[in-house]
Amino acid sequence: MDLVVVDNDSQLYANANLGEDHRAPAENESTKLGLHGRVPCRTHRSISRLAASFGFISDAAMKGWIDSEAFSPFYAALQANLQKYGSTEKVRNLSQKPRLTNVQKALVRGEQKGVRKFSRRSEPDLENFRDAEFYALFLFLVVDYNSKEREGAFFGENMTTEDMQARVWEAMLRANHEETRYRGARKG
């Protein structure tokens, strides 16, 4: 696979429709980050490591994806839902989050035996959601969009649902980190 060199990173992420040139070669070694395999905890703390875990070739491509229709509206909905329905102040301002494994378990429970709590065609009944279920809905929607839509980060990629969820989780943590930094700078 030949890598394309571009003069301007902004060419890489117009509405996250990046074509084939946005991908770094898949890594085969277990110690390197790539589109496939495990994502270490705290990957979100480095935009470069997060970009590598998504297979993007630049930080700008990662930032562009976070700001795109493939992620941003779902993250905004998560924030709004937690503000409205969150059980505590820490949950409402996203400073207290469940563990990814607990969110994945909530997602499985909500979909098992045909319940379709998250995948139903009509709007889910958010008033009866527990905190982890808001994150489960977010994960479900982002993974679904990004695996089925052409401009999605996972479209056409042979990945497990868990691998996609882990990457989306780290992207959500990154977006939350950026939002918290922005709020802190505004207050100061």
pLDDT digits (tens, 9 = 90+) for 60-94: 999 999 999 999 999 999 999 999 998 888 787 77
Cα distance between residue 112 and residue 110, in whole Å: 6
Angle ∠(164,167,171) on CA atoms, nearest 5: 135
Cα distance between residue 40 and residue 33, in whole Å: 9
Share of the chain above pLDDT 70, in %: 79
- 33, pLDDT greater than 90: no
Cα distance between residue 31 and residue 92, in whole Å: 36
Cα distance between residue 164 and residue 147, in whole Å: 9
Burial of 8 (0-12, 13-18, 19+ CB in 10 A): exposed
Predicted model pTM:
0.79
Cα distance between residue 131 and residue 90, in whole Å: 11
Which of 26-30, 40-44, 142-146, 184-188 ranks highest by mean pLDDT? 142-146
pLDDT digits (tens, 9 = 90+) for 7-18: 444 433 333 444
- 44, pLDDT greater than 50: yes
Nearest to 38 by CA among 140, 164, 177, 173: 164
User: What count of residues does the chain have?
Assistant: 188
* Cα dihedral: 71, 119, 165, 110 (round 10): 130
